[in-house]
């Protein structure tokens, strides 16, 4: 039976679990740092494309259970969007730190599993990086995918570590260093995947548009959105805005 905080999905027997950290695509709640540069509805549509392409990336991996962790208020809306093949689970508590803690508390409790929490705004990441992350967890307690701005786009573990994530510093340029400090305190072994970038600000969006113009198949829905908003991309690149 499904509870109010979780939707069921088939499977659940894999020892590799990829959990996408997501929100329902509602205006004013997603990719808010892009709203000074683009219309609110456009940003919401953009996030929906990112999420769709991120799911497609996850589903391209073999032998991996896919799930979404989200705020409790978003469970049913996201379940309707992603369909019956993906388990959608409500996090306990508010904020990203609570969400990450919930991922490992929920998905490592049944049996020994390699669990990776992955953001919903890097669908252009090569699938080989995710495969490498799972391989890293075969020999390390934790794996981290650092971003160029001082954060991280994925984190994986084989067990739950309730004190690993705290809200202080989440979403800032010190997020990665704070995580590494707690890993040292907990004496957990650590491996890294390749540095990458997620989409937070206009400069990230410009970089993504340039890459997907050359290789749209990496994130086809997002590439189509960027093509539709071509004039807006031009304005971002030139620093003009006619709105």
Instruction: Tell me the per-residue pLDDT of 88-118, one tens digit each, with 9 for 90 and over.
Output: 999 999 999 999 999 999 999 867 899 999 9
Placement of tokens 């379940």 in the chain: 79
For the domain made up of 6-200, give the CATH fold. Spore Coat Polysaccharide Biosynthesis Protein SpsA; Chain A (3.90.550)
67-76, 159-168, 214-223: least confident range: 159-168
Q: What is the pLDDT of the chain when averaged over all its residues?
A: 89
Secondary structure, 3-state, 127-171: HHHHHHHHHHCCCCCEEEEEECCCCEEEEEECCCCCCCCCCCCCC
Provide DSSP, 63-124. S-EEEEEE-GGGHHHHHHHH-TTSEEEEPSSSSHHHHHHHHHHHHSSSS--EEEEEESS-TT
Q: What is the pLDDT of residue 84?
A: 81
Q: Is the pLDDT of residue 4 over 50?
A: no
Instruction: Tell me the per-residue pLDDT of 22-56, one tens digit each, with 9 for 90 and over.
Output: 999 999 999 999 988 889 999 999 999 999 999 99
Boundaries of every domain in the chain: 6-200
Tally of residues, the chain:
243
Residue 238: band (very low, low, confident or very high) from pLDDT cuts 50, 70, 90: low
- CA dist 113 and 65 (Å) reads 11
What would the two tokens of residue 23 be? 């929100």
Placement of tokens 């794996």 in the chain: 143
Instruction: Tell me the per-residue pLDDT of 145-154, one tens digit each, with 9 for 90 and over.
Output: 999 989 999 9
Q: What is the pLDDT of residue 93?
A: 92
Q: What is the pLDDT of residue 196?
A: 96
pTM of the entire predicted model: 0.90
- CA dist 128 and 115 (Å) reads 16
């Amino acid at each position: 039976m499904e509870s109010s905080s979780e939707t069921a999905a088939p499977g659940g027997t894999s020892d590799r679990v990829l959990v996408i950290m997501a929100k329902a695509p509602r205006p004013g709640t997603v990719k808010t740092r892009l709203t000074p540069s683009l219309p609110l509805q456009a940003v919401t549509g953009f996030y929906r494309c990112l999420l769709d392409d991120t799911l497609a990336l996850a589903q391209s991996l073999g032998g991996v259970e896919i799930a979404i962790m989200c705020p409790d208020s978003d469970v049913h809306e996201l379940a309707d969007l992603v369909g019956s093949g993906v388990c959608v689970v409500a996090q306990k508590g508010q904020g990203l730190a609570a969400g990450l803690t919930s991922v490992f508390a929920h998905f490592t409790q049944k049996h020994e599993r390699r669990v990776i929490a992955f953001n919903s705004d890097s669908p252009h990441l090569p699938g080989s990086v995710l495969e490498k992350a799972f391989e890293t967890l075969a020999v390390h307690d934790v794996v981290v995918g650092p971003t160029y701005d001082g954060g991280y786009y994925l984190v994986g573990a084989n067990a739950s570590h309730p004190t690993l994530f705290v809200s202080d510093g989440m979403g800032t340029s010190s997020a990665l260093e704070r995580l590494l400090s707690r890993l040292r305190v907990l004496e957990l072994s650590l491996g890294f995947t390749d540095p990458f970038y997620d989409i937070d600000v206009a400069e990230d969006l410009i970089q993504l548009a340039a890459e997907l113009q050359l290789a749209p198949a990496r994130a086809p829905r997002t590439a189509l959105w960027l093509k539709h908003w071509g004039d807006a991309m031009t304005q971002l690149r030139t620093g003009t805005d006619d709105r």
